[in-house]
Amino acid sequence: MIKRALISVSDKTGIVEFAKALDSKGIEIISTGGTAKALSDAGINVINVSDVTRFPECLDGRVKTLHPKIHAGILAMRSNPEHMKQLDELGVETIDLVVINLYPFKQTILKENIQLEEAIENIDIGGPTMLRAAAKNYQDVAVIVDPADYSVVLEELEQSGEISLKTKFKLAYKVFEHTSHYDTLIANYLRDKLDEKVFPQTLSLTFEKVQDMRYGENPHQKAVFYKEVGSCTGSITAAKQLHGKELSYNNINDANGALELLKEFDEPTVVAVKHANPCGVASAENIYEAYIKAYEADPVSIFGGIIAANREIDARTAEEINKIFVEIVIAPSYTKEALEILSQKKNIRILELENISSKVSKDTYDMKKVVGGLLVQEYNDKLIDIDNIEYVTDKKPSAAELEDLVFAMKVVKHTKSNGIVVAKGKQTLGVGPGQTNRIMAAKIAIEYAGERSKGAVMASDAFFPFPDCVEAAAKAGITAIVQPGGSIKDKESIEACNKHGIAMIFTGMRHFKH
């Protein structure tokens, strides 16, 4: 039976109505500070917590509920005669319902130019302590941390005059989920304030649900989408959907890959992605020309793919996009005419991402879940140290070839390994992704390029273990190659390049993507 409730909330959404319902049932309400005033002003009978503890709030409100008369009333097990005897001897009354939500730490640290001192003051102490105490004693105490649960509790009280054990257990679970999230936000915020950027001894991560998905990678798999707390500028989680049905699991995964590749470029660029691999990438003087080049790079694979552009989509570009079926278009903005044109198709998802070119923070973790564990590494924000590339062949690449080599390396960096990219004129001509041997990746890229490979360049995400890729490149008419180098058979690849008059440079930097 609920006889006594303690209410202390920062988020006062719905609290007056909830407290009125409790008051109407004769439930005694204890409260603190601003909550007590809000309830009292609404005509609700409230007992101030200091009248219960016989101790005033102090230290600017830092100490209000940290008192045995509060915590003993929450933690006492009603089925334990010794507990109840001690309460009687100490003059402590039980508390049957605890309604708490915490200081707004997340909202505080998300504000611009927040000072450490203000963030620290918004770390709640008494709230989590009461929540955890009530949740631990869930058999006897109902605890609410989420305003959405007010109606659930009231409905049960109306129906049976009691809150079911099943509901109490679920509410207790939500408390520990909430306090874990809260503590992780604090720990991560403080870690970011440290000068040394090291991997922590224990890694706690916290995410907030964005949506339940219709299904995962395949229709028989359930899935959900979570986002990181904090600034996600330039990421898929920050995109605004302007048109189309809900994004799928694969849509989000592919769109993320498209955005990561797009961020490598400053000039007008279009990236087309299919099944997490780039299938057409091009840069040009304007976004229309970039799209035409990206489409022509592989007009077959782009069908049903994702298009990401780093400039506003105009009407003529939209008209070209509408000639084929694509799942998603992502751009920083759209002209009114372009949006009208694209919206004519029911199934296309149109996403607007204002800061689409924002670089990924150097502090971002790259994570991969494995069964029973988590692989964590620094985000790969490197490409080529142009001042330290090694010219290893007799022939040196021309200025135009060097420009294309850098372009191709940007693309192959974001291609599943083993990966090979053939490009020319800042346009991919062939992408060979995700093969178990490098020569097969080279053959696929060259086959896609066809006759266009004559005079093109080739990029490899890792070294050539044998000179066979050079031989294939020479046969296709490729004139320059970029690769990390580092194979024990580098000399054979260099000799093959010299034999066929191909320029080759070593970057000393591998870009595996698994």
Query: Would you list the DSSP string of 475-494?
Result: HHT--EEEE----TTHHHHH
Active site residue 136: yes
End-to-end CA distance of the chain: 57
Contacts of 507 (CB under 8 A, 6+ apart): 384, 385, 389, 390, 409, 482, 483, 484, 485
Q: Out of 275, 345, 395, 500, pick the active-site residue.
A: 275
Contact (CB, 8 A) for 147 and 13: yes
Q: Out of 12, 20, 83, 136, pick the active-site residue.
A: 136
* Rounded distance between C-alpha atoms, residue 268 and residue 262, angstroms: 10
Active site residue 275: yes
364-372 — which CB contacts under 8 Å span 24+ positions? Answer: 368/514
* Rounded distance between C-alpha atoms, residue 257 and residue 252, angstroms: 9
Residue 471: burial class (beta carbons within 10 Å; 0-12, 13-18, 19+): middle
Using DSSP's 3-state secondary structure scheme, residue 341 falls into helix
In total, the chain counts a number of residues equal to 514
CA nearest to 122, candidates 109, 135, 140, 110: 109
Which of the residues are catalytic? Answer: 136, 275
